Amino acid sequence: MKKTAIGLYAAIVVALLAWGYYQAIYVAPEDAMQGEIFRIIYYHVPSFATCFFCFAVSLAGSIGFLAFRRSQPDRAQMADAWALAGAEIGVVFCTVGLTTGPLWARRAWGMWWTWDARLTTTLVLWLIYVSYLLLRRFAAGPQMQTLAAVLGIFGAIDVPIVYMANRWWRTQHPAPVFGGGDNSGMDPTMVGALMWNLLAWFLWGILILILRYRVERQHQKVAEREAQEALRA
Amino acid sequence: MKRFFFLLLALISAGLFVRVAYLVLASPPDPAFNAPNHEAIVDHLNHLFRQAAYSITWAIQLGYLAWLGLKWRAEKQMDGRRKN
C-alpha cells in the first residue's frame, strides 16, 4: 500500500516536472532584455525555495533530536533521520542553485561569479551544510549526533540572511522578483510557468526527502541490531 | 532489476554532466558589439547556456537519486544478511 502510494506520487511528480518544463520553454514568453537565458529562473528559483524548505526540515529535526535525546530515544532517532535527510537534500538543491546561477551570470553579467552579499552568503550556507554532512560521515562516537544537531541549528541561521541579503544590501544579484517593492513582479504568463515549476520541484524535493528519511531509518535499525548483537556476544 | 535501473540513472546523470561540459566549453566566444551577426550569436549562446543549466539540474538530481537508490539497496542487503 505504502509502495503503491509512493509510486503514484512519483508518477504525479514526474508529470508535473514535464508540465513545468513545457511551461518554461514553450508557454512563458522570452524576456525582452535577456532573451532565452532568462528561462534559467524557472529552475533556479524553485531549487532555492526547495533548498530553504529542506534546511527548515533539518532545523526542526535537529531541535527535535536535542529535545528528545534523553527522554525518548526512538523519537530522537526519527528526528535525527529527518535532520540528516533535510540537510542532504538541501545541499543537493543548493548545489543546483549554485551551478545554474553562474551559468546565467556568465551570459547576463559577463562573469561567472562575484563576491556580493547574496552569492557569498549562499556559498557559506552550502559550505556549512557540506561540513554538516562531512561531520556525519566521518565523525564517530556518541556525541556525533549532538554535534551535528548543533551545527544544523547554527547553519539554519544563515537561511534568513541569504533570503534577505538582496533586500538589506545593494547587490549585483537581481532584486527580488516577488515582495521586492513597487517595481518587482513578472508577466502573468511567466508567473504561471514559475509557479508550476515551483510546485513540481517542491514535490520532487519532498519525494526524495521521504526516500532519504526511509533509507536513514533502515540504516539506524541495522546499526541498532548490530549494537544489540555485540552486547549479547 | 532495481540495481540496473539505478545504474542507468547514474549513467544518464554522467552523460548529462558531459553534455554540460561540452555545451559550455565548446560554446563560441562572445561576439564583438559591431559584429554583423551579433544578435544571432548572442541568441545562440543564450540557448546553449540555458540548455546547460537545465541539463546540470537533471544531472545533479538524477545522480543523487541513483546514489540514494544504490545506498538503499546496500542497506536492505545488509539487513537481510544480518537477519539470516
What pLDDT digit, counting tens, does each position of B25-42 carry?
999 888 888 888 888 999
pLDDT, residue A223, reads: 86
Residue A112 within a domain: yes
Partners of residue B19 in chain A, C-beta under 8 Å? none
Burial zone of B31 (CB within 10 Å; 0-12 exposed, 13-18 middle, 19+ buried): middle
d(C-alpha A211, C-alpha A85), whole Å = 9
Flag whether residue A214 sits within 8 Å of chain B, measured between CB atoms.
yes
Predicted complex ipTM: 0.93
pLDDT at B66 over 80: yes
Nearest residue of A to residue B23, measured between CA atoms = A103
Residue A196 within a domain: no
Report residue A97 as a C-alpha cell.
542553485
Residue A5 within a domain: no
d(C-alpha A147, C-alpha A168), whole Å = 31
Minimum distance, in Å, between the CA of residue B10 and any CA atom of chain A? 15
Contacts of A114 (CB under 8 A, 6+ apart): A105, A172
What is the longest distance spanned by two Cα atoms in chain A? 72
- Domain residue ranges in chain B: 2-28+37-83
Other CB atoms within 10 A of residue A226 CB: 12
Give chain B's mean pLDDT: 91
CB neighbour burial string for A180-218, b if at least 16 within 10 angstroms, e if fewer: eeeeeeeeeebeebbebbbbbbbbbbbbbbebbbbbbbb
Could B60 and A92 be called an inter-chain contact, meaning their C-beta atoms sit closer than 8 Å?
yes
Could A100 and B53 be called an inter-chain contact, meaning their C-beta atoms sit closer than 8 Å?
yes
Minimum distance, in Å, between the CA of residue B54 and any CA atom of chain A? 7
Residue A70 within a domain: yes
A65 within 8 A of A149, measured Cβ to Cβ = yes
Could B61 and A37 be called an inter-chain contact, meaning their C-beta atoms sit closer than 8 Å?
no
pLDDT, residue A40, reads: 96
d(C-alpha A101, C-alpha B56), whole Å = 11
Residue A66 within a domain: yes
Minimum distance, in Å, between the CA of residue A212 and any CA atom of chain B? 7
User: Where in the sequence is the domain holding A170, given as residue range(s)?
Assistant: 44-174+205-232
Residue A212 within a domain: yes
B55 within 8 A of B20, measured Cβ to Cβ = yes
Report residue A98 as a C-alpha cell.
549554485
A63 within 8 A of A35, measured Cβ to Cβ = no
Residue A192 within a domain: no
Minimum distance, in Å, between the CA of residue B34 and any CA atom of chain A? 17
Residue appearing with cell numbers 509512493: A6
Residue A31, beta-bridge partner list:
A35
| Per-residue pLDDT of chain A in tens (233 residues, 90 and over written 9) | 788 888 999 999 999 999 999 999 999 988 888 889 999 999 999 999 999 999 999 999 999 999 999 999 899 999 999 999 999 999 999 999 999 999 999 999 999 999 999 999 999 999 999 999 999 999 887 789 999 999 999 999 999 999 999 889 888 888 777 776 777 778 888 899 999 999 999 999 999 999 999 999 999 988 888 888 888 87
Total domains in the fold of chain A: 1
What is the longest distance spanned by two Cα atoms in chain B? 74
Could A218 and B76 be called an inter-chain contact, meaning their C-beta atoms sit closer than 8 Å?
yes
Interface contacts A/B by beta carbons within 8 Å: 76
